[in-house]
């Protein structure tokens, strides 16, 4: 199982997009307060479309509560301060994988990152770019985990219009 951990997310549209990605890729979402929005906010629902009803997620009061309720999981931190790309990590495992992302304005606090610098990763980009959009980062990282695991449990066929729609 892939777990996406959002530390104090601020922008409802980003979180809505991440919710949609979590449903599409069968990932569980963890939201650590404070949140910069209300979970019933219309911008959040609009970004998540009708996927939110199928989402598995948990909200935590703080980082300590998250760690306790998840048995102090091994976290992979996605941060602009990391030095290795996601592809340099071995995600081929039957264990749960927890990818942690920070709030849009300031990222993951330094004190948390310093708990395991070897698990800090960065999405490579040009020097002049400070960062990518949070929901894009989540999608890229989920996809890398799935790629390494041969897209387990995911469909390669279109089921709404039919697997052979393009051929007709």
In the chain, which residue ranges form alpha helices assigned H by DSSP? 12-24, 42-48, 63-69, 110-113, 134-148
C-alpha pair distances (Å), 91 with each of 42, 73, 146: 35, 15, 8
* Enclosing domain of residue 74: 2-167
Instruction: State the pTM of this model.
Output: 0.91
CA-to-CA distance for 44 and 19, rounded, in angstroms? 9
Q: What pLDDT, on a 0 to 100 scale, did the predictor assign at position 125?
A: 93
CA-to-CA distance for 46 and 11, rounded, in angstroms? 13
Give the pLDDT of the chain (168 residues) as one tens digit per residue: 999 999 999 998 899 899 999 999 999 999 999 998 887 756 556 554 566 778 899 999 999 999 999 999 999 999 999 999 999 999 998 889 999 999 999 999 999 999 999 999 999 999 998 889 999 999 999 999 999 999 988 888 887 787 788 887
Q: What pLDDT, on a 0 to 100 scale, did the predictor assign at position 129?
A: 87
Contact between residue 6 and residue 15 where contact means Cβ atoms under 8 Å apart: yes
Q: Looking at residue 95, which CATH number applies to its domain?
A: 3.40.1280.10
Q: How many independent structural domains does the chain possess?
A: 1
CA-to-CA distance for 72 and 76, rounded, in angstroms? 12
CA-to-CA distance for 53 and 66, rounded, in angstroms? 22
Q: What pLDDT, on a 0 to 100 scale, did the predictor assign at position 46?
A: 58
């Amino acid at each position: 199982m892939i777990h996406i951990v959002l530390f104090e997310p601020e922008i409802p549209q980003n979180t809505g997009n991440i919710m949609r990605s979590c449903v599409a890729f069968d990932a569980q979402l963890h939201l650590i307060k404070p949140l910069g929005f209300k979970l019933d906010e219309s911008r959040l629902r609009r970004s998540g479309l009708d996927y939110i009803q199928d989402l598995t997620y948990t909200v935590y009061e703080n980082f300590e509560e998250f760690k306790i309720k998840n048995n102090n999981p091994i976290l992979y931190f996605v941060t602009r301060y990391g030095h290795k790309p996601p592809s340099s990590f071995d995600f081929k495992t039957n264990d749960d994988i927890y990818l942690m992302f920070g709030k849009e304005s300031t990222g993951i606090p330094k004190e948390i990152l310093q708990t395991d610098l070897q698990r800090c990763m960065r999405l490579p980009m040009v020097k002049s770019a400070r960062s990518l959009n949070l929901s894009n980062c989540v999608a890229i990282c989920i996809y890398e985990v799935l790629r390494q695991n041969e897209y387990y449990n995911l469909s390669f066929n279109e089921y709404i219009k039919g697997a052979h729609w393009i051929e007709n």
